[in-house]
DNA sequence: TGGTAAACGAGACGGTACGTCAGGTCTTAAT
DNA sequence: ATTAAGACCTGACGTACCGTCTCGTTTACCA
């Protein structure tokens, strides 16, 4: 789904797709500049050169508007697959790149608020799930390849393993409010590889 | 720290500690009843039988007020230590009880919003860190005992292990907006024990 | 000027004139019922069935709002002209009727506060001047006719004479906080007629 | 009455009279500097170096406090008697000096508000009456001398004549929010003298 | 090609929460 | 029992934002 529910088109002027784009861009800009609290629909409308009514015609709440813009932005930032033949190498490459993506201000500032909004408005949950799963997809593929190669026990549930890979990083960022350093990510991956792979591969000494 | 920064009281009527308590109780009640969005300072003041000014005198923002009430409430809900002599048994008992605690409406509804608030207001981060660490403390002790008994490799960083124990549970609750079932928690602990203990202890068949 | 400065309406929804009317009525009702001190913007908004923002959009201060409502109300209460052919008769009729008008609760309770408000907010002065002059207008016409008939010396400044007619009555009401009785008004007019007319006409004995 | 109701003095620490003085001075200073609206009890207390409770122990409301300070200040500004032997000369001297007194910022800014306060709080009326009458007292004496000399018809009620002398000046200041010029006062007195004295004395050409 | 239906930017609408401020009362320790 | 200091409750203030609702105008489809 890339647009905001283009509903019945029976007569009348069609919706201007430039509005969707302009709103999305404005939301991301303002989120990055000022954070979630300071972001108002009126401001978005002004920045986008759009009427407020045109926004409410597309999304029922401010949160839905932001969620849509956020999803649209992550779609283009999706990680490319990486296949080096080694699970450890794949994992390090993918997780380091995912960490970079999550450091973009708009993501870092929006994610906690989107989780909170979804807690109150269950209709936002699919969006949150979709984005988080989307980000883990290339890693899931690497895990499957690792199972095929015998690097990972096939009895281990892939989803559970993905959580062990990502959740500790995400939760620390959420709680401590600062991104993980490269070194911290590497140490985390050391432990993951030691605990969940048959080789217990550690990173090569520098 | 159990009270809201009673600054030097050089002359003048001292702050009435009953105000702090009444506000804390009112916040928790209203959070549980209505959730975060519907909670207003005016409502808290009325429920607590307190003037709004007395609240703003103590906390600069609504979020700080809630964070304080939340911390005060978790202090009394802290998990008791459990020491059965077996890391697996300790872990299952403690994590199941922690899961129960986190299911209380006030916690479940407030946590995502507190994380979001802390993202905008860094001064709230210590409170969030303190509470989350507090909850993990008895588990940390169990881990240390397990290391002493040789059930867990002493080379493993305890904090990292704690994250592998808790983060996957918490993150799934945050993202999916529903609590983990007992069965899901058990399966998660199976994997943790298999991956991070020397015995790879699995739970006994029922 | 009968409305609250509907500024250039270039696009956008136009202001609803019913809001102006409803606010004006509500102000006058509440002024009459409760007086100036007890009158709050929130109360006016509720009584008028109007949002508070709509009031603040029109008037910058509570005083300006009341002044506007007050002027609008006096416009319809303006005295009709009286022309009996005799200055004394004209004057007695007009001043007695003006006194009645000024006894209406809304006027009696509002005037002192409006004078006070104008002392702090000079932009209210034109309104106060307009209303007071408006009330004296029919008397001014009677004075001009009296001058033409030779009952009043044409060398006497009409505005000055009007002040001698009204000011003593008004100032006593302001200072003593009670209205003038019919008898007091008559005695006052006796003196005015004796001092400022060529005939020195006194009232006929009862 | 120069102090604020020094009540029962039965045991205990006596009231510090410096508090009364300091409060009075602070009120007058702040009235002159900022006007009535911006004057708060807290500000007065701070400026006077006094606790707020000490103020409320003496006066029940803010208005009563100001009224007291105002009366105390006018007591010392009372006009000295003038007796030149000519009513016209006495009158011009006294009224010009009264006009000067009324131009002091504290008076000009406070009078309208005191009238408004008295409209809501009848207990303030005596103070207002006392001050206004006090100011007119020397003029009343001059009127009596004029009656004795035959310059003014003894049948004219002195109080009514005083109102014709002062009310037009005061009301114009109240309504128009600006003081009378010397020339305006002189023209007003010309008319008063012409209308209410047997000589109809006009001022000598310059 | 002309009508119509829905879009558009602008901005007013009712409602509600916010955070500030003022008034008048009460409580402390000290005098 | 007073004092200065300062907390207390109450409640109005003015601002800001939300989501809705007109306005007058523009733009596509369809007859």
**pTM, rounded to two decimals:** 0.84
Q: For chain B, what percentages of helix, strand and coil (3-state, to nearest 5) are there?
A: 70, 0, 30
In Å, how far are B186, C176, D91, D136, D157 from D140, measured between CA atoms? 101, 19, 10, 6, 11
Closest CA to B39 of B143, B117, B110, B138: B110
Question: Does nucleic acid strand F have an atom less than 7 angstroms from the CB of D19?
Answer: yes
What residue spans of C104-181 are helical by DSSP H? 105-120, 125-149, 158-176
- Contact A/B (≥3 CB pairs under 8 Å): yes
Q: Which of D168, D179, D188 to mutate to test the interface with C (most CBs of C within 10 A)?
A: D168
Tokens describing residue B44? 């808290």
Q: Count CA atoms closer than 13 A to B167's CA, side-chain side.
A: 23
Question: Does nucleic acid strand E have an atom less than 7 angstroms from the CB of A23?
Answer: no
Which of chain B's residues 39-78 bind strand E, using a 7 Å CB cutoff?
39-42, 52-53, 56, 60-62
What is the rounded CA–CA span in Å between residue C125 and residue B16?
48
Tokens describing residue A39? 């972001």
Contacts of B188 in chain A (CB under 8 A): 160
Mean pLDDT, chain A, rounded, equals 89
Q: For chain D, what percentages of helix, strand and coil (3-state, to nearest 5) are there?
A: 70, 0, 30
Q: Nearest chain B residue to A105 by CA: give it.
A: B119
Contacts of D176 in chain C (CB under 8 A): 125, 129
DSSP A123: G
| Count of pairs with CB atoms under 8 A, one residue in A, one in B | 106
| Contact indicator for C165, C109 with CB cutoff of 8 Å | no
What is the rounded CA–CA span in Å between residue B18 and residue B21?
5
**Which chains border C (3 or more CB–CB pairs < 8 Å)?**
D
What is the rounded CA–CA span in Å between residue D175 and residue C170?
11
Could you tell me the distance in Å between the CA of residue C13 and the C1' of nucleotide F17? 19
Confidence (pLDDT) at D9: 46
Q: Specify the 3-state DSSP secondary structure of A81.
A: coil
Q: Which residue is nearest to nucleotide F13 (CA to C1')?
A: C41
The strand pairing partners of B99, in sequence order, are none
Could you tell me the distance in Å between the CA of residue A40 and the C1' of nucleotide F15? 14
Nearest CB partner across the interface for D175, out of C36, C122, C129: C129
The H or E element spanning position C92 is helix C87-103
Q: Specify the 3-state DSSP secondary structure of B36.
A: coil
Confidence (pLDDT) at B81: 83
- Name the region of A3 (left: φ>0; alpha: ψ -120 to 50; beta: rest): beta
Angle between helices D105-120 and D125-149 (to 10 degrees): 110
Tokens describing residue C199? 């005939």
Confidence (pLDDT) at A9: 57
Could you tell me the distance in Å between the CA of residue C74 and the C1' of nucleotide E21? 34
Whether pLDDT at D4 is above 80: no
Residue A2 confidence class, pLDDT cut points 50, 70, 90: very low
The H or E element spanning position D22 is helix D17-34
| Count of pairs with CB atoms under 8 A, one residue in C, one in D | 106
Whether pLDDT at D80 is above 70: yes
What is the rounded CA–CA span in Å between residue A143 and residue A162?
8
Question: Does nucleic acid strand E have an atom less than 7 angstroms from the CB of C6?
Answer: no
Closest CA to C197 of C160, C154, C163: C154
Confidence (pLDDT) at B101: 86
In tens, the pLDDT along C147-187 reads 999 999 999 999 999 999 999 999 999 999 888 999 999 99
* Nucleotides of strand F within 7 Å of the protein's CB atoms: 1-24, 26-30
Confidence (pLDDT) at C86: 95
| Contact indicator for D196, D152 with CB cutoff of 8 Å | yes
Confidence (pLDDT) at B102: 85
In tens, the pLDDT along D135-177 reads 899 999 999 999 999 999 999 999 999 999 999 999 999 999 8
Angle between helices A62-76 and A17-34 (to 10 degrees): 90
| Contact indicator for A186, A92 with CB cutoff of 8 Å | yes
Query: What would the DSSP string read from start to end of B81-134?
Result: P---S-HHHHHHHHHHHHHHHHHSHHHHHHHHHHHHHHHH-GGGHHHHHHHHHH
- Name the region of B51 (left: φ>0; alpha: ψ -120 to 50; beta: rest): beta
A108-136 mean pLDDT = 90
Closest CA to B67 of B19, B33, B114, B136: B114
For the stretch C18-22, contacts whose Cβ atoms lie closer than 8 Å and that sit 24 or more positions apart, written own/partner, are: C19/C48, C19/C50, C19/C54, C19/C58, C20/C58, C22/C48, C22/C49, C22/C50
Confidence (pLDDT) at C6: 55
Confidence (pLDDT) at D11: 56
Confidence (pLDDT) at B104: 84
Q: Which residue is nearest to nucleotide F30 (CA to C1')?
A: A11
In Å, how far are D84, D109, D181, D188 from D88, measured between CA atoms? 9, 30, 19, 12
Question: Residue B152: phi, psi to the nearest 5?
Answer: -125, 135
What is the rounded CA–CA span in Å between residue C176 and residue D124?
10
Whether pLDDT at A64 is above 60: yes
More confident residue, D198 or B145: B145
DSSP A51: -
In tens, the pLDDT along C127-137 reads 999 989 988 99
Tokens describing residue C202? 């006194």
Tokens describing residue B184? 């899901």
Could you tell me the distance in Å between the CA of residue C52 and the C1' of nucleotide F17? 14
Confidence (pLDDT) at B79: 73
**Which chains border B (3 or more CB–CB pairs < 8 Å)?**
A
What is the rounded CA–CA span in Å between residue D20 and residue D128?
20
In tens, the pLDDT along C81-123 reads 889 999 999 999 999 999 988 888 888 888 999 999 998 888 8
In tens, the pLDDT along A35-63 reads 898 899 999 999 999 999 999 999 999 99
Residues B71, B177, B27, B117: is their CA dihedral positive or negative?
Answer: positive
**Cβ contact, residue pair D112, C129, below 8 Å:** no
Contacts of B187 in chain A (CB under 8 A): 157, 160
Q: Nearest chain A residue to B132 by CA: give it.
A: A175
Per-residue b or e along A166-178, where b marks 16 or more CB atoms closer than 10 Å to that residue's CB = bbbbbbbbbbbbe
Confidence (pLDDT) at B206: 52
Question: Does nucleic acid strand F have an atom less than 7 angstroms from the CB of B53?
Answer: yes
Q: Which of C38, C112, C178, C190 to mutate to test the interface with D (most CBs of D within 10 A)?
A: C112
* Nucleotides of strand E within 7 Å of the protein's CB atoms: 4-29, 31
Instruction: Detail the DSSP E strand segments found in chain D.
Output: none
Per-residue b or e along D96-125, where b marks 16 or more CB atoms closer than 10 Å to that residue's CB = eebbeebeeebbbbbbbbbbbbbbbbeebb
Calculate what percentage of chain A has a pLDDT beyond 90: 67
pLDDT tens for chain B, residues 1 to 206: 334 555 545 667 888 999 999 999 999 999 989 889 889 999 999 999 999 999 999 998 899 999 999 888 887 667 788 899 999 999 999 999 999 988 888 888 889 999 999 988 888 999 999 989 988 999 999 999 999 999 999 999 999 999 999 999 999 999 998 889 999 999 999 999 999 998 765 555 55
**Which nucleotide across the nucleic acid strands is nearest to D20, CA versus C1'?**
F3
Confidence (pLDDT) at D28: 92
**Which nucleotide across the nucleic acid strands is nearest to A62, CA versus C1'?**
F18
> Which residue matches tokens 């699995």?
B202
Could you tell me the distance in Å between the CA of residue B140 and the C1' of nucleotide E9? 59
Listed in sequence order, the residues at least 6 apart from C195 whose beta carbon sits closer than 8 Å to its beta carbon are C164, D164, D195, D196
- Tell me the nearest-neighbour CA distance from D171 into chain C, angstroms: 6
What is the rounded CA–CA span in Å between residue B184 and residue B59?
39
């Amino acid at each position: 789904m890339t647009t905001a529910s283009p509903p019945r088109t029976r007569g009348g002027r069609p919706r201007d797709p430039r509005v969707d784009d302009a709103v999305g861009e404005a939301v991301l800009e303002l989120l990055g500049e000022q954070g979630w609290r300071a972001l108002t629909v009126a401001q978005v409308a002004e920045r986008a050169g759009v009427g407020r009514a045109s926004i409410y015609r597309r999304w029922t709440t401010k949160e839905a508007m932001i969620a849509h813009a956020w999803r649209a932005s992550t779609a283009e930032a999706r990680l490319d697959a990486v296949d080096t033949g080694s699970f450890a190498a794949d994992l390090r490459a993918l997780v380091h790149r995912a960490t970079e993506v999550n450091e973009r201000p708009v993501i870092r500032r929006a994610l906690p608020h989107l989780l909170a909004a979804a807690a109150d408005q269950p209709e936002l949950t699919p969006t949150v799930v979709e984005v988080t799963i989307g980000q883990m997809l290339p890693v899931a593929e690497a895990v499957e390849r690792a199972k095929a190669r015998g690097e990972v026990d096939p009895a281990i549930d892939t989803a559970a393993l993905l959580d062990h890979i990502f959740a500790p990083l995400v939760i620390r960022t959420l709680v401590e409010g600062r991104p993980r350093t490269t070194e911290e990510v590497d140490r985390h991956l050391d432990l993951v590889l030691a605990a969940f792979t048959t080789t217990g591969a550690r990173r090569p000494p520098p």
